[in-house]
Amino acid sequence: MKPKRKKLITTLLVAVAVIAVIAGLYLYAGKEPFIRTTLSGLTLGSLFFMVAAGLSLIFGLMDVLNFAHGALFMLGAYMGWQLYTNPTFIFGMLPTVTAFTCGVLVSPVIKPFLIRWELPEQWQKTLPKIAYVLAIVLLILAFLNFNIMELASTAMVAATTTMVGNPLAEITPQEPLAQFWYRPVLLIISGLLVAFASSKPGVKTEFAPKEDLLKKAVPSILLFALTIIATLFRESAPIAILLMNGNLRFLIAIFVAVAFGFMFGALIEITLIRPLYVRPFFIVLMTLGLSFVIRELVQLLWDPLAYQMVRPPLFAQSGKAASLLEWLQNGNATINISGVTFPTYRLFVILLGFLMFVIVTIIMTKSRLGMIIRAGVQDPQMVEALGINVKRVFTFVFAFGVALATLGGIGAGPFLPIQPLMGDQFQMLGFITVVIGGMGSYVGAFVGAIILGMGRAFGDYFALKLSLSPAVSEASTVIIMVIVLLIKPQGLFGKKE
């Protein structure tokens, strides 16, 4: 039998099986429980996809298993919650983050010059080590006597205090500019030292052309400008954000969480993962260690407590909307869907998951960037010969995957407790989703996420209806994975090795 015909028959059989299962569940559960459980499953599936999409892209295109992905999902939730509740911490730390990243991203600009240095082999090994040590010393000096804990506590205070009539009551005064300015300066120099060390001065094993240096410098120039603006408006920006409409503030929180994830992901790839590509197992250990570091840092800054992010006004008004139009007009907390009352924010999460799938599909299949990414994975030497920097492409892929995780975190924030362990569960479910869909397939990750979400939702429904242990519903995700692997070991959309 021809492969295409065999694949078509398999797809039809799977479709018939899915339709039969759906029909059986509908007849057994009844209309209202079926609709409610299906919508809950789609909500969970969208969240699972937000985690699994980044995992699938990073592994499928870079062969990197990122065990810190769940921690980054959790970090996105904290960043969005912090900005929405009280952005003092965000704007207090922003100049330090952009300053250091600005220095690090100078690496592609200075590398073509540094690798042409005539240095003895001993100095080729010694100079980067000296640069890294100096960078760490400057990092310590930059944060010396900088009260990070007080900045982090602002959102915790705001979360437990009713700010009636005065939303600015919990704004913590920032350090005066006359005392603060040297911190971003030291961090820029520290980042430059990291860029110098990672460029491997004197090592001529790699070809780095001089052309387009201005184009390579654009990210650093933009971040340098952002550092200056963020330094000058550290105190006025939080006030302006808190005075905004809650819906607009939530959109800004989403943008900040995604931008933070992208920038932090690029920083991780450049400084921690790139030197370890020749040692894949070390990458696994490093990302696993990074997840512990992130989790402990979050517990240090915000305490190991569970916080609840307030929903934006568009999803928080009392009453039940009869239609989507009425919901958009009144901002009701619930909506009537075929006689079933369902939270409107969960509909937003479903929409966010599907929208993210569409965006990823367009980028990977319809854009020039997607073509470069696929070509860079299949034949990096040929792409390099065409004048395309494959390392920069890999940095973008990793940063994009992390940004998807942080988007999932802020999306989950308004209806899941925000706490340091929230990423661990989603990391495991993300890996299960990727295995079901097929390693490296973002389409498979989407289909696997929907299957897993529906399985978990209906598992919870039957466990409650039949008075079974909650462990049975939790095991449903593993059972689905086992069944898929028994039928198709490479996953639903995976390719045979």
User: Are the C-beta atoms of residues 34 and 26 closer than 8 Å to each other?
Assistant: yes
Question: Mean per-residue pLDDT for 437-461?
Answer: 83
Q: Please check the confidence at residue 343 and state whether its pLDDT lies above 50.
A: yes
Q: What is the pLDDT of residues 11-42, one digit of tens each?
A: 676 667 767 777 777 777 677 888 888 888 88
Task: Note whether 459 and 473 are within 8 A (CB).
Answer: yes
Q: Which residue has the higher pLDDT, 382 or 413?
A: 413
What mean pLDDT is predicted for residues 116-140?
A: 86
pLDDT at 163: 42
In the chain, % of residues over pLDDT 90: 13
Length of the chain in terms of residues written: 497
For 227, phi then psi, to 5°, come to -60, -45
Q: Which of 29-38, 48-57, 86-95, 215-224 has the lowest mean pLDDT?
A: 29-38
Question: For the chain, how long is the longest CA-to-CA vector?
Answer: 77
Please give the Cα distance from 284 to 229 (Å, whole number).
Answer: 37
- DSSP state for residue 307 in the 8-state scheme: B
Confidence of residue 241 (pLDDT cuts 50, 70, 90): confident
> CA 441 → CA 125, 186, 252, 344, 418, distances in Å?
40, 42, 30, 30, 29
Q: Residue 497 CA to chain centroid, in angstroms? A: 29
Among candidates 183, 184, 155, which has minimal Cα distance to 170? 155
> 152: closest CA among 279, 318, 298?
298
Least confident range from 77-81, 161-165, 166-170, 259-263: namely 161-165
Confidence of residue 74 (pLDDT cuts 50, 70, 90): very high
Helix (H) or strand (E) holding 110: helix 107-114
- Return the pLDDT at 228: 93
Q: Is the pLDDT of residue 167 over 60?
A: no
What was the pLDDT predicted at 215? 76
Strand partners, 418: 307
- Give Cα separations from 278 to 64, 273, 281, 378 (angstroms): 11, 10, 9, 17
Q: What pLDDT does 101 receive?
A: 87
Non-local (6+) Cβ contacts of 331 within 8 A are 313, 314, 315, 316, 317
Using 50, 70 and 90 to split pLDDT, how confident is the model at 328? confident
How many CA atoms within 13 Å lie on the side-chain side of 426? 35
Tokens 């989407």 belong to residue: 446
Distance, in Å, from the CA atom of 497 to the CA atom of 487, rounded to the nearest integer, reads 16
